[in-house]
Structure 1
Amino acid sequence: MWAMAIRTLRHRTAALSATFLALVLGTVIVMTCGGLLETGIRNNAPAQRLAGADLVVTGDRDLPRGDETAVLPERPALDDSLTAAVRNVPGVERAVPERVFEAAVLGGRSQPGSAPDAQAHGWSSAAVTPYELTEGRAPAGPRDVVLDEATARAYGVRPGDEVRVAAQGSAGAYRLTGVVRTAHAVDRGAVFFTDDRARALSPALADIAVTAAAGTDHGELKDRLGEVVADRTAKAQTPAKVVSGDDRGAVEYPEVLTRKEDLIALAGAFGGMATLVAVFVVSGTVALSVERRRREFALLRTVGATPRQLRRLLLAETLMVALVAGAAGWFAGPPAGERLFEEFTGSGMVSEAVAYEQGWIPAVAAAGALLLTSLLGGFLGGRRGVKVTAVEAMAESTVRTRWATPTRMVAALLFLAGAVALAILTWVLFDGPIAASTAGPTVLCTAIALALLGPGLTKLCTVLISGPVKAVTGASGELAVVTARARAVRMAGVVTPVMLAVAMATANLYLQTTQTDASREAYAQNLRADAVVESASGTLDPALTADVRATEGVAAAGAYVTSTGWIDGIGDEDGVPLQGIDARGAARTTALDPVGGEVADLTGRTIALPAGAADGRSVGDTVEVRFGDGAAADLRIAVLFEGRAGYDTAFVPADLLAGHTDGALPQQILVRAEDGTGAAALTANLEKTLADHPGTAVADRDDLIEANIKDTETQAWVNYLMVGMIVAYTAISVVNNLVLSVSGRRREFGLQRLAGATRRQVLRMLTIEALIVAGIGVALGTAAAATALVPFSHAAADSMLPSGPLSIYAAVVAGAVALALTATLVPGWAALRARPAEAALAEE
């Protein structure tokens, strides 16, 4: 059978090239997703600034929440006394207590160019990397500072110059005493103060960098340190741990931990979706190939070939094509995965500190997916073609009319039932963005069901549109409709990928736009501020709030902090967004609608909860809150307010929440203008007030809203990219199938021309057929997308229709039509170049 398969392949390279291309692209996509999945699982972030430390003692960011483990978004602080205990452990040569906080160089001789983001430290931390002085000396006084070489060069400063640095809510002039360089790359810029000045700016101890004594086994030292650290922090709310190797990188870049799950979920979901789509694409391509070979199979059945033998022949051919396709995809997969990973890191979806990893696991996964795709695709695509009897095969050798089998119908009904169940779950059980977890699979189940019912639906749709098509297009349209109805089974093979592309593109694009708009609206409805004051270093001096309140045209102002926390009975393992507000200005700067309590009472150790998520609690009750740094506190409920279902947010006093964030200070100041004060006047007045506070700036309400949904928009962009890959893959299938279908009709075209039809009339007929294919595919794809979009829009935005520009749908439809026309007319024009008599003798 293998020898026969090799011989048949030699004469059918054109027909099998579509299968080859589909398998190559499927392999590349699966390998790409596999590489991203492996990268997310390994989550290796090579140490940069901490590369010189053998071990690092840091707060444990893992927070057990039932069966799940959450990641703390803020840095757990260590007790200063822990440093002495670490130094006393046998085998420790040096233990450096580190203060780490954000800093911004505001200017030197020139304005900043490509200066890297900067972190500030005490001077003793320079020995950890190690940084070495190339110019000047170490800082010695409270107004001394040292910069890394890249930052100093970007600002055009040298030792002896004055630089302005903003850090921890204040900005001031410092004397640059030295410039340092490290032997290896460090992405972030470094600003070094004296140890005393760093401690004054940021009292919290971030980590302890440990250097082992010569000859000490690092594994044994890590175990000894672990015992000491565990003993000293056993009673603390946030225990500490000892890390080594690439885990040190996560200490420098905490987003490595917080964004790990996003990459794993994304890669796994799209890898599975790509495999499923590949099965459909390959099976459709093989089915069309089999349709073109029905005369051949009829002759083989006549001379005694059994269905099993023909099935083995098809599978052998498909597997041999898969071997070549796998080899091509093997080489293309890793570069494609690395390029896509670069896009992810550039967008902020993944930390730039994470190293891309693609070992043998994605290759094995791609090989398994390739094998599964080729076997299933070959089996499903050729199942009907090899089972007919010899007499039936000869009778159907030109046009196949039967398609419905019990197995196919049962499978279609099962997928349709699954889609209905998922749609009901989305509508009834979920609120907010979580509804996307069931809405996404809904469109897939519906699309699969419609694909299985494709021939029948295609014939039904053709009957429904036959009247209007004939009325508008005349004789050419009538011929196109007759052909479409006669070739309904074959036409379904090209309608299905159009439907699949339209369904996936429409559903996924509008799921993202709806989710983004709903998140934006949910945040904006609680916000009344007209402007916001922010700082280059990310923190503000609390005393600045009073100056802002005294500014002309300001009706109210209050400090503002954001973080994430965990509240019993509210939210899931990902926590609940926490907003820290100032009760003095909250009534004017926020739009909280209390149903119990007063916003003015939100002071001290209190909290405001949405009434719908309060879980039976009332004003005056106490609730346990776990803050972003892991610290727990019992807070009294001061306010219950009307919140939006699915977008639960809790409010606490700004000074309370700030103490549990990395900066430990307010992040922004919300400002409400007096009646009659315009936005321009308010901004101008605030800028006058801020002139004495370097590093601060004024932004408007829209900037604050966009910053709040930045993560949602980043996730949306990444999903657009991944969906685009799969839709493009499906679009290539559309082209493949249409080219196969049209190029196999040379005999038909030849007979039409011998009967008197001109080339132009045949092309007109093909144009109408392409429009019918596109129209049916768009209609079915839109219906499939609606099964996901309508329930999701109801759950996320309390609307029956998704939000987002109509131009998205118009672009999807236009793309489907353009693909269908191009892939039909180009091969059709090529087929019509042959002389009619020669074409009439060609194989069907």
Structure 2
Amino acid sequence: MSAILRLARSGLRGGNRASAIATVLVAALATVGVVAGFSVRGQGGPEVDRIYQQAGRPDLVVYGTPQTLEGLRRDEAFAETSPVTPFVDAAVTFGPDSVDARIAALPADPAGVGRPLLRSGAWPGPGATGEVVLDQAAATEEGVRPGDQVRITIDGRPATMTVVGTAVDLTDCFYPDCDPIRLFVDPAALAALAPAPGSVTVAPGPATGPGPTTQTALLIARLTEPDRADAVAARLGTRNGVVGVQPWPDTRDDILVRDRIFGASLAGFGVFVLLAAAFVVAGTATARLLARRREIALLQTVGYTTRQIITGLVGESLLLGAVGVLVGWVIGTLLAPFLQVGLGGALGRPGLRIEPLSLLGSAALVGAILGAATLIPARRAARQPVSDVLRDAPPRTAAPARVARLLDRLRLGPAYRYGLGTVLTRPGRSALTAAALAVAVAAIVVGGGFTATMDRLVAEPARVGDPYDALVVVDHGTDPAALAGRLAGTPGASGWYSQTDRRTTLGDQTFLSRAIGGDPADAGFIVREGRPLRAAGEAIVGYGLLRRFNLQVGDTVTVRAGDTPLTLTIVGWYSETEDGGELLMYRAEMLPGVPPDAYLVSTGPGGTPEALAAALRDRLGPDVTVHARESDPDGLGMFTVAMRLLAVLVLAVSLANLAATLLTGSRERSRTLGVLRTVGFTVRQTLAQSATGGAALGLAAGIVGLPIGLLLLHVLANQVTIGIGAGPGLTEQPAWSLLAATVPATVLAGALAGVLATHRLSRTSASALVRWE
């Protein structure tokens, strides 16, 4: 055992230190990619589940009249409920825009079901009528802090209140993905803000559509069987006096919509990281052993057995890998919170999550690759004739002769001939190095394609189900016909359509449906199969709903939208990301007499959402709330930045491997380089031969990686767009400039790595190189 330990330690001393450091670096970079990728993929869901538990497990939110909700509190499905909570419908002004808001009194029981969670500041004091606690996500998005003042409008009556704190509320997903934003005040303040003394007359909850001008409230329940939230929501949604039901699984999915996008993409990019790690670690370990052939032969001459040599070499590689894994695990763990997307400002940046399982998993992965990569060449090196190794005899194969004949045909100069020959005479090592770099090329191509795809989704919002530029929300007393006439005369407006949302049931499952009014031609949804929605009795569905219920174009379904039964024929499916694409649309004529929730207006050529929103405010006056469409739906810009970082990480791993391989190869050939220097090789020729070898590896990697990247882009991007509900077929090709530059860039990177790897040896004297040990 002591002999094996001495052998393992010898590999970490002297001339092998540089290659040992390279092995540690490669293992660390590979571990960073694996740990950071899987940490980011899994950190959003647990964080949301944690605050769900802190909030008393709000499994179901029911909107309706106070009398109806009081009766529901005794429902057998409920384990515990909050008090029936009246609320006021309002608008909060942030800069030039107003945002729909819901103002509720603070819960009487601070430990009850669905309680808001205070994140900063304090709750309003008893009897304080000018203090408010603001939605944490809205406060972060708009830069509002405790002590700031906000302007609130209720039924046309403005009020200014002081923000004393921020809180997280789980009755709906977070702003800006969902509204209304939620505000909390003292009961005395709610009574002062109410439209009429002693009463609270408000609009229904989210995704429910307008109701009569009566008192409306909400009830939050914890279920005895949380897994049956959808079934309970479907049953309660048909009760008289219930205007909407929101089950926690739907809310959770909405909260994690961006996380779902990012997680689906990380699953694809994780393949690249793992492949890069495998090729890189295997190539580096093989190169290190080839560089130590003479050392192994000398150890055999002094009595080391083949088993001792193999065990010592494998132990040395595992020790280096363990150091690299530990360093990479620490870096990846520290990096993961900064890569979080999907939860907006509601929860803040996640804290550090120390996950020993990710350390053990990474160690097992890298250890298995290192062990296998070291064992095979170690057995081969230990079994070579000692005399042949010590006198640098060429390998007993016909490969060098075939390589020489090939190089003779190319008629290259001596430096280029020798550099290319070193690559061709080590086909195994060269293949591993080129494969790792090809994985990086494929990752860059896929990353460029993902970026182009997401940029197209941002530039064309109809691809994510938002074919409009401005949203108009009106009071329930507004005459729809009069408003439609005023919309048509707005400068810069090219068309509009209306929508009315309903929580809808099919069997015992619930989802969102939307009644579309106005001119069907103005609802410019991108229908991917079938045809657009035109008449009553027809429906188009998002791809997510198509998959969830195993539906097809041409099917007829019977659903219940709120308390209205509808029989619809599916005439097409379209691109939609809201609720993961689980959305059904039908014509507003099927809800006669029901006024729309909102009007969605499109601008003409050259117009902008902001300019259209300003024109609508001027045209329609203060009785409506107008929102310009977000230019970055669902935070896709953050997503593309993160994906570029991951692609760069894979590239860094592969370039580190290329440099390490060329470095160890140069050290292996040091004595041969010394001989060449004695017969007239110049420093420039020495650098040229190494650059030629690196360029050859880069050329092979570019030629192989480019088509593989294009193929994988379509496979992985389709999985991502399917995962977010938009459906397949939305993939965009990377920029042609990127594709054209890929192969030249890999050739140049290989040449530069070759120059850097040989720079020190090129300036070493010939006598020192010949004596190199």
1:43–1:354 contact (8 Å) kept in structure 2? no
Mean CA deviation greater in 687-696 or 85-94: 85-94
Indicate the residue corresponding to 1:9 in structure 2. 12
Give the counterpart letter for 1:559 in structure 2: S
Contact 1:31 1:334 in 2 (8 A): yes
Q: Distance in 1 between matches of 2:71 and 2:465?
A: 47
CA distance in 2 between counterparts of 1:403 and 1:668 reads 78
Q: What do the CA deviations read for 1:182-215 (whole angstroms, capped 9, x no partner)?
A: 49899977365736549533234675469xxxxx
TM-score using structure 1 length: 0.66
How far apart are the structure 2 equivalents of 1:309 and 1:538?
A: 84
Equivalent position to 2:69, from 82, 86, 108: 82
Which SS does the other structure have where 1:842 is aligned? coil
Partner residue of 1:780? 704
Q: CA deviation at 1:14?
A: 2.3
Tell whether 2:316 aligns with 1:312: no
Q: Residues 338 and 356 of structure 1 are in contact (CA less than 8 Å); yes or no, is this contact kept in structure 2?
A: yes
The change in CA–CA distance for 1:578 and 1:365 in structure 2 (over 3 A counts) is same
Q: 1:803 is paired with a residue of what secondary structure?
A: coil
The residue type paired with residue 321 of structure 1 is L
* Structure-1 separation of matches of 2:231 and 2:528: 46
Unaligned regions of 5+ residues in structure 2, if any? 111-115, 175-180, 206-215, 240-246, 722-726
CA 1:729 to 1:119, structure 2 compared with 1: closer, same or farther past 3 Å? farther
Match of 2:162 among 179, 187, 192: 179
Q: Which residue of 2 aligns with 1:123?
A: 105
Aligned mates of 1:200, 1:381 — CA distance in 2: 75
- 1:236 maps to 236
Tell me the amino acid that sits aligned with residue 8 of structure 2. A
Task: State the Cα distance separating 1:496 from its structure 2 match.
Answer: 2.9
Give the structure 2 partner of residue 585 of structure 1: 519
Residues 52-131 of structure 1 aligned to structure 2 (within 5 Å): 55=56, 57-59=58-60, 77=63, 80=66, 81-83=68-70, 86=73, 95-97=83-85, 99=87, 103-105=91-93, 119-125=101-107
Identify if the C-alpha distance between structure 1 residues 545 and 58 changes in structure 2 by more than 3 Å, giving closer, same or farther.
Answer: farther
Matches within 5 A, 1:107-506: 119-125=101-107, 132-133=123-124, 137-138=128-129, 165=152, 172-176=156-160, 179=162, 181-182=164-165, 190=183, 194=190, 196-197=194-195, 199-204=200-205, 207-208=218-219, 235-237=235-237, 255-258=254-257, 261=260, 265=264, 274-301=273-300, 307-341=306-340, 344=341, 348=342, 352-353=346-347, 356=350, 362-387=355-380, 390-392=383-385, 394-395=387-388, 398=392, 470=411, 474-506=413-445
Amino acid at match of 2:190: T
**Is 1:532 aligned with 2:519?**
no
- Residue in 2 aligned with 1:442? none
1:274, CA displacement in angstroms?
3.3
Alignment check: 8 A CA contact 1:18 1:736 kept = yes
The answer to whether the 8 A contact 1:551-1:686 is kept is: yes
- Which of 736, 739, 750 is residue 806 of structure 1 equivalent to? 736
User: Counterpart of 2:566 in structure 1: which amino acid?
Assistant: D
Given residue 190 of structure 1, which amino acid in structure 2 is its aligned partner? Answer: L
Aligned to 2:452: 513
State the one-letter code of the partner of 1:82: L
Q: Secondary structure at the match of 2:235?
A: coil
Question: CA 1:517–1:138 in 2, change beyond 3 Å: closer, same or farther?
Answer: closer
1:4 & 1:495 partners in 2: Cα distance? Answer: 31
1:634 aligned partner: 566
Deviation at 1:297, TM superposition (A): 2.7
What letter is aligned with 1:203? P
The 1-side partners of 2:13 and 2:29 are apart by 22
CA shift in 2, pair 1:386/1:350, >3 Å: farther
| 1:30 alignment counterpart | 34
SS state at 2:600 partner: strand
C-alpha deviation, 1:590, in angstroms: 3.1
- The aligned runs of 1:548-563 (5 Å cut-off) are 548-551=487-490, 556-560=495-499
C-alpha distance in 2, partners of 1:94/1:148? 20
Deviation at 1:648, TM superposition (A): 10
Does structure 2 conserve the Cα–Cα contact (< 8 Å) formed by 1:533 and 1:698? yes
CA-to-aligned-CA distance 1:443-465 (integer Å, 9 cap, x gap): xxxxxxxxxxxx99xx99x9989
TM-score normalised per structure 2: 0.71
Cα distance in 2, alignment partners of residues 762 and 83 from structure 1: 87
1:102 touches 1:537 (CA, 8 Å); kept in 2? no
- Separation in structure 2 between the aligned mates of residue 336 and residue 156 of structure 1, nearest angstrom: 27
Partners of 2:427 and 2:182 in 1: CA distance: 65
Q: Equivalent residue for 2:113?
A: none
Q: What letter corresponds to residue 194 of structure 1 in structure 2?
A: L
| Distance 1:396-1:500 versus aligned 2 partners, 3 A rule | farther
The whole-number CA distance in structure 1 between the counterparts of 2:337 and 2:163 is 33
- SS, match of residue 235 in structure 1: helix
Mapped to 2, the partners of 1:806 and 1:339 lie a distance apart of: 31
- Between the aligned partners of 1:736 and 1:202, the Cα distance in structure 2 is 66
Q: Deviations over 1:418-440 (max 9, x none)?
A: xxxxxxxxxxxxxxxxxxxxxxx
Q: 1:534 to 1:277 in 2, by over 3 A?
A: same
Distance 1:787 1:228 in 2: 41
Greater CA drift, 755-764 or 273-282 = 273-282
Q: Does 1:725 find its partner at 2:707?
A: no
Cα distance in 1, alignment partners of residues 531 and 385 from structure 2: 80
Residues 752-791 of structure 1 aligned to structure 2 (within 5 Å): 752-789=676-713
Contact 1:19 / 1:285 at 8 angstroms: preserved in 2?
yes
Offset at 1:5? 1.5
Contact 1:281/1:730, CA 8 A, preserved across alignment: yes
User: What SS does the aligned partner of 2:733 have?
Assistant: coil
Counterpart-to-counterpart distance in 2, 1:510 and 1:498: 18
Distance of 2:325 and 2:572 partners within structure 1 = 58
Structure 1 residue ranges without an equivalent (≥5) = 60-74, 140-144, 211-221, 240-247, 405-454
Among 619, 634, 637, the residue aligned to 1:690:
619
- Give 1:313 shift: 1.5
Conservation of the 8 A alpha-carbon contact between 2:88 and 2:202 = no
Contact 1:104 1:536 in 2 (8 A): no
Report the Cα offset of residue 292 of structure 1: 0.4
CA distance in 2, matches of 1:520, 1:389: 61
SS at match of 1:383: helix
What is the aligned-residue RMSD (CA, Å)? 5.8
Which residue identity is paired with 2:557?
V
C-alpha distance 814-482 of structure 1, shift in aligned 2 (>3 A): closer
SS of equivalent to 2:519: helix
Structure 1 residue 755, shift from structure 2 partner: 0.5
Which residue of 2 is the match for residue 545 of structure 1?
A: 484
Which of 14, 39, 46 is the equivalent residue of 2:43? 39
CA distance in 2 between counterparts of 1:658 and 1:746 reads 87
CA distance 1:157–1:276, shift in 2 (3 Å): closer
Structure 1 residues 28, 18: CA separation in 2 closer, same or farther (over 3 Å shift)?
same
1:839 aligns with 2:765: no
* Aligned residue type for 1:371: A
Sequence identity (%): 17
